[in-house]
Chains A and B, each alone.
Chain A
Amino acid sequence: DVKVTQSSRYLVKRTGEKVFLECVQDMDHENMFWYRQDPGLGLRLIYFSYDVKMKEKGDIPEGYSVSREKKERFSLILESASTNQTSMYLCASSSPGGGANEKLFFGSGTQLSVL
């Protein structure tokens, strides 16, 4: 079974703090994604990466950055957390065997609260 692990299930941070969300996958997948999930809005793509050190902006990259130094690890960084970044963050990975967006495997999510 593919395992996508997010380092924290719940996180509480203060406005202005720098926040790191970590994601690790164990299936040697090339593609990794960071989504944000808000009620009534579905999932919105923040950033994705199709290879080590490669990254592309998604729909809502403002206020976020990412890092992919190793194939199995994709980090999401909130440079200066704000209250409107309070949300559920989901990491996902996929294999390039089919389309890059086919068969996403998600992590359990990190519920981030910014106070």
Chain B
Amino acid sequence: GENVEQHPSTLSVQEGDSAVIKCTYSDSASNYFPWYKQELGKRPQLIIDIRSNVGEKKDQRIAVTLNKTAKHFSLHITETQPEDSAVYFCAASKLSNYQLIWGAGTKLIIKP
């Protein structure tokens, strides 16, 4: 079955710098890759997702890139701000499937 590995587990960056979180997946049939953000004490919320028919998707300061050959996808956050501090989860799935397979999460710390 699918397995998703997420790195790093903790990432500390200076405010204004960029942050990159990487996930690798095992099932080449996976075609849907969402990213969720969970602020401390709050519910996870979808921030961006990508389907396998595109290689990159952007939404203001966040972007996701997908490399199907290498089976990895990454979240890029530019010009980081204090409100970006949170735990970020990646996941992978087939769209036809009910089950998302989640990474273990990355705690992003933005240093002032």
A-side residues, CB < 8 A to B, are 4, 31, 33, 40-45, 48, 50, 56, 58-59, 90, 98-104, 106-109
**B9 and A40 form a contact (CB under 8 A):** yes
| Interface size class of chain B, counting residues whose CB lies under 8 Å from the partner chain | 20 to 34
Give every chain B residue within 8 A of A50 (Cβ-Cβ).
98
Main SS at interface, chain A: loop
**B103 and A101 form a contact (CB under 8 A):** no
- The docked-state distance in angstroms from the alpha carbon of A32 to that of B31 is 21
B-side residues, CB < 8 A to A, are 4, 6, 9, 32, 34, 36, 42-46, 49, 89, 91, 93, 95-100, 102-105
- The docked-state distance in angstroms from the alpha carbon of A106 to that of B39 is 13
Q: How far is the CB of A59 from chain B (nearest CB, A)?
A: 8
Residue of A nearest to B44 (CB): A106
List 27 A-B residue pairs with CB atoms under 8 Å apart, sorted by A's residue number: A40-B9, A40-B104, A41-B104, A42-B103, A42-B104, A42-B105, A43-B44, A43-B89, A48-B99, A58-B99, A90-B44, A100-B97, A101-B32, A101-B95, A101-B97, A101-B100, A102-B34, A102-B95, A103-B34, A103-B46, A103-B49, A104-B44, A106-B43, A107-B43, A108-B42, A108-B43, A109-B43
